[in-house]
Structure 1
Amino acid sequence: MLESLDARISSLAKSKSQANGHKQSETTPKAERKNISEAPCSTCSAHAQAICADLKDQEMDEIARNIRTRLVQTGQSVYREYEEAKYLYTVVTGEIRLANLLDDGRRQVTSFKTAGEVLGEQKNGYYQSDAEAVCDTVVCQIPIKILEKYLQEMPAMQTALTAKVLSEIHELRHHAILLGRKTPIEKIATFLVDRAEKLGGKDSVEVEVMLTMGRNDIADFLGLTIETVSRTITKMKNLGLLEVPSNHSIIIKDMAELENLAEGEK
């Protein structure tokens, strides 16, 4: 269950995370230890969305003895591609970017993980992507060896993790269609609709979408250049579909119209 999904691996190039142009600031082991603390499960803001949500009180007490929370500052890594996989992580607050680098330094961002979502995809004991914070982020980490024991003893956790894996497979298929078949304006529209849904605002006519990531991250996620992203957002703004109060905020003026555009309906 914790092994890498073949669909993702076959579509991404294996490379070292130190390629020029995309190297992020690193946490030293000493600094990383200072950012790790015991997990206050009873006050966790992501508990209702996490894989431990349906556990009984005694099961939660058992898990709390073996998990820790960790602060990951903006630009720092949770783990690197090909690093030994020791933990499975859940985002508590903030947002994590998953990405892979090609040998020539080009980058493909594959996912943005928010509160309650799981990360730590591994194959043969090694992580398969870089995981970096796009803003100050808190993650909850559980050792994989201990997690495997809990999955056998706690069916509710196994069911929840299976649901997370199936959801990720759906997202990967969705992203593959976006990358392979959609035009730039359809890609931007799809990204904003998905973002609004993820943040719980899709049902409103007018929705403000907060962007913790920069335009460069969006470009690498959608397979576009940063210039194309900026030009397309400006075009959509001129069409009256969006307002752009700042680089980290976009207001969708008509969600239904944007959904139609995302699906290729003019």
Structure 2
Amino acid sequence: MAYQIRNFVIIAHIDHGKSTLADRFLELTHTIEGRKMREQVLDAMDLERERGITIKMQPVRMLWHPQIQNSKIKVQNDNEKFKINPPEADTKILPFDFYIFNLIDTPGHVDFTYEVSRALAAVEGAVLLVDAAQGVQAQTIANLHLAEKEELAIIPVVNKIDLPNADSKGTADELAALLGIDPAEVLFVSGKTGAGVPALLDRIIEAVPGPKGNTREPLRALIFDSQFDPYKGVIVYVRIVSGSVRKGERIRMLSVSKVSEVLEVGYFTPERRETERLARL
């Protein structure tokens, strides 16, 4: 199952469209019902919605079926069909028919860089998003350096290609020069219309490696965020590195050598959803 998991973040300068792109991810993966969908759904704080910016990082789990969205994607385990009807030369072969995406939407403002750095420590890949009308900005470079420090797989993406004043090619050239890559490797999307987003989801499967670790080893987890709930107490957001955890088990916080009982385990969809067990898988 670990081979089907992709942990990644979206990083960008402020107002370059991270949360809007995350909305399209949630729509295409059917994570949120259409009737419940709203703009910038991952910005849950009142202040975020009032100011139109992301302040707190927000994790969410999604399920992506690539072969449903893209006729150029085939599943490797359908061997008999391949013998009868071999795929075209430019068709990509993927080993699984679905993938679990764990996304962390991050802030773009310089004042919240610490939020970004903690999120980057919990993933293997980063979508580096740049506004086609504004080009590479200060936080584009700052966040890129943070991602490179964590040795993450970087996926360069030009966003807002639907804008009348968009300079998509110029921005792609600028982004390619920054990363030292061929401009052909840069993807083009519109977080508003959804153009190019399915191809980006497929690129995430190819470019971002699955998580490493062993479920049979003792539990080790990285706490990358936390919050206090008046009814449930402290809720910690963790990236499980090895092992697993269940409700009722006792765990030790190594930084303070304190033992606590786990009252509930779950994940975000983006609402909290309880499950029996959390593991690296």
Give the structure-2-normalised TM-score. Answer: 0.28
Highest relative contact order (Cα 8 Å, sep 6+), 1 or 2?
A: 2
Q: Which has the higher helix share?
A: 1
Q: Which has the higher strand share?
A: 2
Give the structure-1-normalised TM-score. Answer: 0.29
